[in-house]
Amino acid sequence: MRIRRRPVKIWQVVLIAVIVIGIFLVMALMQGNYNIPNPEDPFSQQSLEKVESLAGSEEELYATGFTYSNSEKETFVISLSAPGENGRYQHWNLVLYTEDGRMPYRMERRDTDVIVPTGSVLLSKLFPQLNVFREQKEEVFGLFKEEAKAQKEETGVQLDIRDHFGEDDLLLKRESATQLATASPTVSPTPESSEKGEGGVKETRISLSEKEDTLLTITVSKDGVSDAPYQPGDCDENSFVLYRSGNKNGVCTETLLAIVNVEET
């Protein structure tokens, strides 16, 4: 028995194409809901309102940590907590990163629910500070041109500023296996100078009342950047900290270079 095949009509081809395109558009729109506008002005009021809208919270959207690096392409990650269901909190990452082929400025929702850590600040308070820092970041990182260079057999060298939320001491240096290098810098503080090694991680910390001659205090304002030797009292809950990181022989070494204080006015 011979089976006759009917010719495919043009309208059928067009219908299939429309369906496929429609599916891609729906997926793009769903992804677009997590896209933050204006990556060229990431700390604008418009961006803040979009982030608050995605998180479903304005008055209780807290920044729990951040890292802002000196990479060639502007890069930062801000961890956020916002109220979720049943009295729990949702955890988000606010990411600006243009090198991974995805949306350059976006929200990413984490699977785990967390409480708001002690010392976290409202995102609406952090954004203005980061906006002032962003205007002067080239000058700030420019103070450490030599430190930004890789030493012999060293890779992955970068400078970055980080939060100091909830900490009452200073992490001067940390050495860890490379695969642990992305761990959160928040570790239970100690009131006195200490050096400890646990789980393959070795840290040196000092209290805020101690003097440390290797550190600088950098003051950033809309008028410019100034620096001076670090003095006890220069670092408080509103300060940022600037680190140098580098990998060598399978070990990531993070070294504190400066305390960064941002003046919004």
135-148 per-position pLDDT tens digit: 999 999 999 999 99
Question: CB of 196 within 8 A of CB of 171?
Answer: no
What pLDDT score does 113 carry? 60
Whole-angstrom CA distances from 20 to 10, 15, 17, 26, 94 are 16, 9, 5, 10, 31
Question: For the CA atoms of the chain, what is the radius of gyration?
Answer: 23
* Count of beta carbons in the 10 Å neighbourhood of residue 77: 16
What pLDDT score does 6 carry? 63
Burial class (CB in 10 A: 0-12, 13-18, 19+), 76: buried
What pLDDT score does 33 carry? 59
One digit per residue, pLDDT tens: the chain, 265 residues? 555 566 656 766 667 777 776 665 555 444 445 889 888 899 999 999 999 999 888 788 999 999 999 987 889 999 999 887 666 778 899 999 877 667 889 998 876 666 777 889 999 999 999 999 999 999 999 999 999 999 999 998 999 999 999 899 999 999 998 754 443 333 333 333 445 556 678 999 999 999 999 999 999 999 999 999 999 999 998 999 999 999 999 999 999 999 999 998 7
DSSP per residue over 1-63, as a string?
Answer: -PPPPPPPPHHHHHHHHHHHHHHHHHHHHHHHTTBPS-TTSTTSHHHHHHHHHHHT-STT-EE
Q: Give 125's Cβ-side CA count (13 Å radius).
A: 14
Write out the H or E segment, with its range, that includes residue 129.
Answer: helix 123-142
Phi and psi angles of residue 107, each rounded to the nearest 5 degrees, phi first: -105, 140
Identify the CA nearest to 129 among candidates 169, 159, 164: 164
Phi and psi angles of residue 177, each rounded to the nearest 5 degrees, phi first: -60, 145
Q: Which residues contact 248 (CB under 8 A, 6 or more apart)?
A: 151, 153, 154, 155
Q: Which residues contact 123 (CB under 8 A, 6 or more apart)?
A: 48, 51, 52, 61, 62, 63, 78, 80
Q: Report the SS3 class of residue 221.
A: strand
Helices and strands counted in the chain (H then E) = 3, 13
Q: Which residues contact 194 (CB under 8 A, 6 or more apart)?
A: 203, 204, 205
Question: CB of 135 within 8 A of CB of 145?
Answer: no
